């Protein structure tokens, strides 16, 4: 990420309060000074990663978040509304119960289908027809006969 990218990240993420503006400008000036001695952006990134400016940049973001700067993409710490834990637990239990019931229903459907198919296959002509259809479908699959063009 370039210097401009880092500036954009700060100002796109937060509505920066006045009391942070000088700190941001100072950090940007330091990054630009570091950039003057670099041959390209890759060189800048390598030097920035190992410089104290990297920690300062990270601390700036933390300071904005903890200092009450309004986050443009969601609530900042302390802005998150309180939730009723009992209501959340009830919703989770309900969702889990619905998921378990759906799984049980699918299991019973599968067993019923297999049991019915087993009984139908016992009928001589129907069982032979089912076997012939499966063999035909398998043959079509391995020979590429399912590709309709």
Residue 52: predicted pLDDT: 92
Q: What is the CA radius of gyration of the chain?
A: 32
Question: Could you report the per-residue pLDDT of 16-73, keeping only the tens digit for each?
Answer: 888 888 888 999 999 999 989 888 888 888 898 999 999 998 888 788 877 767 777 7
Count CB neighbours of 118 within 10 A: 10
User: Could you give the percent of the chain with pLDDT greater than 90?
Assistant: 14
State the distance between the two ends of the chain, measured CA to CA, in whole angstroms: 49
Residue 26: predicted pLDDT: 93
Tell me the whole-structure pTM to 2 decimals. Answer: 0.47
Taking CA atoms, 37 is separated from 33, 34, 40, 118, 128, in Å, by 7, 6, 9, 79, 82
pLDDT band at 81 (very low <50, low <70, confident <90, very high): low
In angstroms, rounded to a whole number, what is the distance separating the alpha carbons of residues 78 and 62?
14
Question: Could you report the per-residue pLDDT of 130-144, keeping only the tens digit for each?
Answer: 888 889 989 888 888
Count CB neighbours of 28 within 10 A: 16
Greater confidence, 121 or 109?
109
Residue 60: predicted pLDDT: 86
- 14 CB-side CA count, 13 A: 22
DSSP-derived letter for residue 74 is: S
pLDDT band at 148 (very low <50, low <70, confident <90, very high): low
Q: Is the pLDDT of residue 76 over 80?
A: no
């Amino acid at each position: 990420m370039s210097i401009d990218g880092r500036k954009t990240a700060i100002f796109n993420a937060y509505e920066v309060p006045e009391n942070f503006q000088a700190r941001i400008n100072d950090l940007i000036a330091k990054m630009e000074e570091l950039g003057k001695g670099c041959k390209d952006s890759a060189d800048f990134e390598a030097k920035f990663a190992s410089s104290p400016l990297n920690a300062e940049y990270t601390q700036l973001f933390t300071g904005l978040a903890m200092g009450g700067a309004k986050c443009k993409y969601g609530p900042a710490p302390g802005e998150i509304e309180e939730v009723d834990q009992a209501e959340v637990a009830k919703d989770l239990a309900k969702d889990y119960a619905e998921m378990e019931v759906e799984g049980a229903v699918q299991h019973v459907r599968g067993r019923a289908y297999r049991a019915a198919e087993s009984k139908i296959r016992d009928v001589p002509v129907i069982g032979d027809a089912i076997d012939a259809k499966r063999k035909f479908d398998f043959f079509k699959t391995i020979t590429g006969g399912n590709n309709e063009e």
